[in-house]
Amino acid sequence: MDVSTTTWALTVVGLCALIAVDFFIGGRKPHEVSIKEAGIWTIVWVVLAILFGAGLYAAGESRAAGEFAAGYITEKSLSVDNLFVFVLIMAKFAVPTIYQQRVLMIGVLIALVMRAIFIAAGAALISTFSWVFFIFGGFLIWTAWKLVREARAEAAGHEDEAYEENRLLKLVERRFPSTSQYHGTKLFVVENGKRLMTPMLIVMLAIGSTDLLFALDSIPAIFGLTQDPYIVFTANAFALMGLRQLYFLIGGLLKRLVHLSYGLSIILGFIGVKLVLHALHEQGVHVPEISTPVSLAVICGVLVVTTITSLRASRKLGREEQAAPRD
């Protein structure tokens, strides 16, 4: 897809305008987000993504529209998995409910900027070195296997649900003095003549840096579906921008998606194989390539089956817990 500089500029300006509207209408004043508010905004962001994809199709870019749909659904699915960690981060730092949406908004913006840098770097590598597809493909297959192992360990009760601060956070906390008390949405306060960081800034960095680590999986995954930087960026942007509302909408349902990791492992493994096949094809080896419609069908099919089996397993577990004798 040939995208002009003007189109890029208009897209970025449009996305910034949508973010500003989201902030001034729903996120400017700290408050506890209701299910109704979260649901309305989630629908708005999903509809905007659908309209964007439809616009690509109407402009005669049917292939780009299909790639955007596949990329958006994949990134959205990976984002849902990320919400598990966000819940742990909020609990770790004891973030008051009324401030959680502000934390998520800033954290997501940090992640969006950093992902744009990742996407530019990935696109430059791919355009220069075709063998990078082998690395991306192998990494996704390894990640898929890792997800399966982690899911098995969690199911067996061998993993504790606890968030561990990454090296960046530990470095920041060591180098800069901080206070343990929240002061509204302030990032810094002055106490006894000393400038201190508040937990609000620390937790924002935690959300942003954690999502940046998630990009190590999601960026290669979407490059396995499309090598168009414009589609990669817009699919990531639309998937991320609705993440804050999705957190409040399905926060209580996350634990019911017990098979989500297995579904994501299948998707990542599938895309990894797709990348390896594409890399072989680029090297002149005659191998079949997986088309975008097939990719989209596999991704949607896996997510539907995963959701159904997760809800059934959750209901069965709930009935067993109710039937179990109480001491």
In a domain, 204, yes or no: yes
Q: Which amino acid is at 231?
A: I
User: Do 294 and 250 touch, CB atoms closer than 8 A?
Assistant: no
Instruction: Collapse the DSSP code of 197 into the 3-class scheme (helix H, G, I; strand E, B; otherwise coil) and give the result.
Output: strand
Is pLDDT larger for residue 154 or for residue 227?
227
Q: From the centroid of its chain, how far is CA 197?
A: 27
In a domain, 182, yes or no: yes
Task: Flag whether pLDDT at 213 surpasses 70.
Answer: yes
Q: How far apart are CA 48 and CA 72, in angstroms?
A: 12
In a domain, 294, yes or no: no
pLDDT tens digits for 126-141?
877 778 888 888 888 9
Q: How far apart are CA 275 and CA 133, in angstroms?
A: 6
Picking from 268, 301, 35, the residue whose alpha carbon sits closest to that of residue 139 is 268
User: Do 156 and 162 touch, CB atoms closer than 8 A?
Assistant: no
In a domain, 56, yes or no: yes
User: Do 239 and 45 touch, CB atoms closer than 8 A?
Assistant: no
pLDDT tens digits for 29-40?
777 777 788 888
Q: How far apart are CA 223 and CA 232, in angstroms?
A: 7
Q: How far apart are CA 143 and CA 63, in angstroms?
A: 28
pTM of the full predicted structure? 0.79
Q: Which amino acid is at 293?
A: P
Average pLDDT over residues 207-216: 75
Tokens of 212: 């940046």
Confidence at residue 230, expressed as pLDDT on a 0 to 100 scale: 92
Q: What is the mean pLDDT of the chain?
A: 82
In a domain, 164, yes or no: yes
Picking from 63, 12, 240, the residue whose alpha carbon sits closest to that of residue 4 is 12
Average pLDDT over residues 106-121: 81
Average pLDDT over residues 103-116: 80
In a domain, 85, yes or no: yes
Residue 94 phi, psi dihedral angles, 5° rounding: 50, 50
Q: How many domains does the chain have?
A: 1
Count of helices and strands (H, E) across the chain: 11, 2
Q: Which helix (H) or strand (E) holds 9?
A: helix 5-22
Confidence at residue 9, expressed as pLDDT on a 0 to 100 scale: 92
In a domain, 236, yes or no: yes
Helix, strand, coil share (%) of the chain residues, nearest 5? 75, 5, 20
Instruction: Collapse the DSSP code of 185 into the 3-class scheme (helix H, G, I; strand E, B; otherwise coil) and give the result.
Output: coil
User: Do 178 and 106 touch, CB atoms closer than 8 A?
Assistant: no
Q: How far apart are CA 141 and CA 266, in angstroms?
A: 9
Instruction: From residue 138, give the alpha-carbon distance in Å to each of 79, 227, 268, 314.
Output: 21, 17, 10, 33
In a domain, 19, yes or no: yes
Range of the domain at 228: 5-130+158-251
Task: Flag whether pLDDT at 28 surpasses 70.
Answer: no
First to last CA, the chain: 65
Q: Which amino acid is at 257?
A: L
Task: Flag whether pLDDT at 1 surpasses 90.
Answer: no
User: Do 68 and 235 touch, CB atoms closer than 8 A?
Assistant: yes
pLDDT tens digits for 172-208?
777 777 787 888 778 888 887 888 888 888 888 888 7
